[in-house]
């Protein structure tokens, strides 16, 4: 008989969701549930806009500060390294005090730092602000995901997970459009100022949306038991780590692989097209937008499909798709072929990512649904922080030639470097996805124990819908 983790790759029939059930669940949503989801989605989209502002302007920043591509990508590495710090700080504050105001404060900090980035004059100032931005950015995902998903019916969580995660891609596309328009006319600083503006708007929106009904219900239960104290929360945190340490390791390994996959295929993509393939900055940005359209399609579809075939099988299928299209992503030289390759690769990369918000939320111990997903996600980010630098360094050591203005020019061979890098990472992700546990279709409202065990007193259970109706009243 095959191992248990193989036997349970496909969820049991009773956990599958019919199309009629999805439609009925959509119709049942209240305005508070819709607002919770879209406010979380918007926060994550703004987070993406602020992060990729560096990726899209690497050549301009390199010229501004007189530094190499590898030196500029140090800012990306610092941001990713410090995101885990923000995830711990804001995740624990959110699990203790609520989803609403910690996320508002988090967004306002991102806004201020992003605004300041547009005024820096030296490379050192730039690095310091991007490091601080990493801390602020680290809290956004966990808080956004918990706010958006924990109040939804089980039938919608796969589909909602895909749409939530692809908020990052919408933010990426928005930044790319700004890069095509404002940056061309007003310079790279305008992209950071625009990012600060939309992030401030997201903070206002979140401030107008009510607190998470699910969180309020949990706090009511804790008050009844007399466990709603900071000491009790710290004690439960220690118990969770002691009981679920292996689950945390699984989560970090999975997120390390997926972060290597996404950052390795995205962060240096515009630079790769300009330097190795000889594209103009305009064409490289357009190709980036096309590839991210594929990312949005893949994320939304995979999240929905995972509701039927399971989270892990969906991740594995999407990563296999990445491997199939790597040649189309790096071998051609024409704009249309490389754009098609980027589109198909990102369908697979972000298809796998579209499953992650709900996969981590279902895996998470109930009392730590903001902390656990956010921390394992950002620890994976920390492990994969040097993705762009690894590829940039590889390009410095592996060269190719292109025809530029009628002259053969030696340039970094980012195509070969990325093909080797992403191919290796894809194999790693498939292996990890096979062994990571899955709690497909778990009911968040049926758990209230801090250590993550199922509640035994079903009389105390209350659905998110009932809590929502109370908060609306």
Give the residue extent of every domain in the chain. 27-217+229-468
**Residue 8's pLDDT band (cuts 50, 70, 90):** low
For residue 92, the model assigns a pLDDT of 83
Average pLDDT over residues 215-244: 72
- For residue 247, give Cα distances in angstroms to 121, 139, 244, 389, 439: 44, 21, 5, 29, 12
pLDDT above 60: residue 438: yes
Average pLDDT over residues 463-470: 46
> How confident is the model over 86-106, as pLDDT tens digits?
888 898 888 888 889 999 999
> How confident is the model over 373-407, as pLDDT tens digits?
877 888 888 888 888 888 988 988 888 887 777 77
% of residues, the chain, pLDDT over 90: 36
Task: State the pTM of this model.
Answer: 0.74
**Residue 447's pLDDT band (cuts 50, 70, 90):** very low
pLDDT above 50: residue 33: yes
CATH superfamily of domain region 27-217+229-468: MFS general substrate transporter like domains (1.20.1250.20)
For residue 455, the model assigns a pLDDT of 40
Average pLDDT over residues 218-240: 70
For residue 458, the model assigns a pLDDT of 37
Assigned token pair, 248 = 């945390």
For residue 114, the model assigns a pLDDT of 95
pLDDT above 80: residue 446: no
């Amino acid at each position: 008989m095959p191992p248990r983790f193989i036997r349970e790759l496909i969820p049991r029939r009773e956990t599958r969701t019919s199309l009629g059930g999805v439609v009925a669940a959509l119709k049942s949503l209240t305005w508070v549930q819709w607002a919770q989801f879209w406010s979380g989605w918007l926060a994550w989209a703004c987070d993406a806009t602020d992060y990729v502002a560096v990726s899209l302007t690497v050549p301009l920043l390199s010229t501004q500060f007189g530094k190499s591509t590898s030196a500029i990508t140090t800012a990306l590495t610092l941001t990713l390294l410090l995101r885990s710090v923000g995830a711990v700080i804001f995740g624990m504050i959110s699990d203790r005090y609520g989803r609403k105001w910690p996320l508002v404060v988090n967004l306002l900090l991102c806004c201020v730092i992003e605004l300041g980035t547009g005024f820096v004059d030296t490379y050192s100032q730039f690095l310091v602000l991007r490091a601080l931005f990493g801390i602020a950015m680290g809290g956004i995902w966990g808080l956004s995901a918990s706010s958006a998903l924990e109040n939804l019916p089980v039938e919608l969580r796969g589909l909602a997970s895909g749409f939530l995660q692809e908020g990052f891609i919408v933010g990426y596309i928005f930044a790319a459009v700004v890069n095509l328009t404002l940056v061309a006319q007003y310079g790279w600083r305008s992209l950071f100022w625009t990012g600060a503006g939309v992030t401030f708007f997201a903070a206002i929106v979140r401030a107008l949306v009510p607190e998470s009904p699910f969180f309020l219900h949990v706090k009511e239960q804790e008050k009844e038991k007399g466990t709603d104290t900071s000491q009790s929360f710290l004690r439960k945190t220690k118990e969770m780590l002691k009981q679920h340490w292996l689950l945390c390791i699984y989560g970090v390994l999975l997120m390390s692989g997926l972060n290597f996959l996404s950052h390795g295929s995205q962060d240096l993509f515009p630079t790769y097209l300009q330097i190795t393939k000889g594209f103009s900055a305009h064409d490289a940005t357009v190709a980036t937008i096309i590839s991210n359209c594929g990312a949005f399609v893949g994320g939304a579809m995979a999240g929905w499909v995972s509701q039927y075939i399971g989270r892990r099988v969906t991740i594995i299928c999407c990563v296999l798709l990445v491997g199939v299209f790597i040649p189309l992503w790096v071998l051609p030289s024409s704009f249309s072929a490389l754009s098609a390759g980027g589109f198909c690769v990102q369908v697979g990369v972000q298809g796998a990512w579209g499953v992650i918000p709900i996969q981590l939320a279902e895996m998470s111990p109930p009392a730590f649904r903001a902390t656990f997903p956010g921390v394992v996600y950002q620890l994976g980010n920390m492990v994969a922080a040097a993705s762009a630098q690894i590829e940039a360094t590889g390009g410095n050591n592996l060269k190719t030639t292109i025809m530029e203005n009628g002259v053969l020019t030696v340039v970094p061979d980012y195509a070969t470097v990325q093909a080797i890098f992403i191919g290796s990472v894809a194999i790693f992700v498939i292996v990890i996805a096979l062994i990571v546990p899955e709690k497909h279709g778990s009911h968040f409202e049926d758990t209230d124990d801090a250590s993550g065990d199922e509640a035994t007193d079903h009389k105390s259970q209350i659905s998110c819908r009932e809590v929502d109706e109370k908060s609306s009243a």
